[in-house]
């Protein structure tokens, strides 16, 4: 009889402990769900609501936009690199080609006797706004500005490590079309700005007699 009472009391305490444990687990699960719901609540200015669908759409657009911009930049780069410049020293003009079509031509001043413009195939290696210039003989440096002998743009395509040759502007339009330079190709400032916008680093330049 005593043994039966001990077993009954033991069973009662086990049931009580199990119920208490179940209540504790249930309480913790409820609090955890509330905390998760609070942490996932949309943030922003008070009074404004946000839609999960809009947020997801915006994230998708943000992830795609850089790729679209990159493709547009590559397209522009390919379009620019498809251009080439042909310099004909005999008629003292520079011709800009896109594919096999001439899209522009400009009169140029060329190298004088003893300072002839080099012929051959080259690539544009240096481009600069408002360049300064160092005289190759006297070493005098002319600062950039409207009266600079290099004008408002420089497009270099040849160098021997000491001297540099390229297209550039000039404050004196009268010399354009004459053999007056130290090998460079002088252009009117308006023309060299236009050429500058039609080429890029790596654009092919062919100079022929």
According to DSSP H, which parts of the chain are helical?
A: 2-39, 52-81, 189-198
Per-residue DSSP letter, 130: S
What is the set of active-site residues? Answer: 168, 184
CB-CB neighbours of 108 under 10 Å: 26
How far is CA 90 from each of CA 23, 69, 93, 178, rounded to the nearest angstrom?
A: 100, 43, 8, 11
Q: What is the DSSP letter of 109?
A: B
Per-residue DSSP letters for 32-56? HHHHHHHHTSPPSSTT----HHHHH
**CA geometry: angle 184, 145, 77, nearest 5 deg:** 60
Q: First-to-last CA distance in the chain? A: 127
CA distance linking residue 183 with residue 166, whole number of Å:
8
């Amino acid at each position: 009889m005593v043994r039966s009472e001990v077993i009954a009391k033991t069973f009662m305490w086990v049931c009580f402990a199990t119920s208490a444990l179940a209540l504790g687990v249930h309480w913790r699960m409820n609090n955890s769900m509330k905390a998760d719901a609070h942490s996932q609540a949309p943030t922003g200015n008070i009074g404004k609501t946000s839609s999960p669908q809009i947020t997801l759409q915006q994230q998708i657009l943000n992830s795609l936009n850089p790729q679209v911009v990159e493709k547009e930049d590559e397209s522009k780069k390919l379009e620019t690199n498809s251009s080439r410049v042909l310099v004909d020293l005999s008629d003292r003009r520079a011709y800009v080609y896109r594919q096999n079509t001439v899209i522009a031509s400009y009169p140029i001043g060329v190298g004088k006797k003893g300072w002839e413009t080099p012929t051959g195939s080259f690539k544009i290696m240096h481009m600069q706004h408002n360049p300064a210039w160092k005289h190759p003989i006297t070493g005098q440096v002319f600062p950039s500005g409207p009266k600079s002998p290099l004008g408002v743009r420089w497009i270099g395509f040849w160098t021997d490590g000491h001297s540099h040759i390229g297209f550039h502007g000039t404050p004196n339009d009268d010399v354009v079309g004459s053999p007056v330079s130290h090998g460079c190709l002088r252009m009117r400032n308006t023309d060299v700005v236009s050429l500058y916008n039609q080429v890029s680093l790596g654009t092919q330049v062919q100079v022929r007699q």
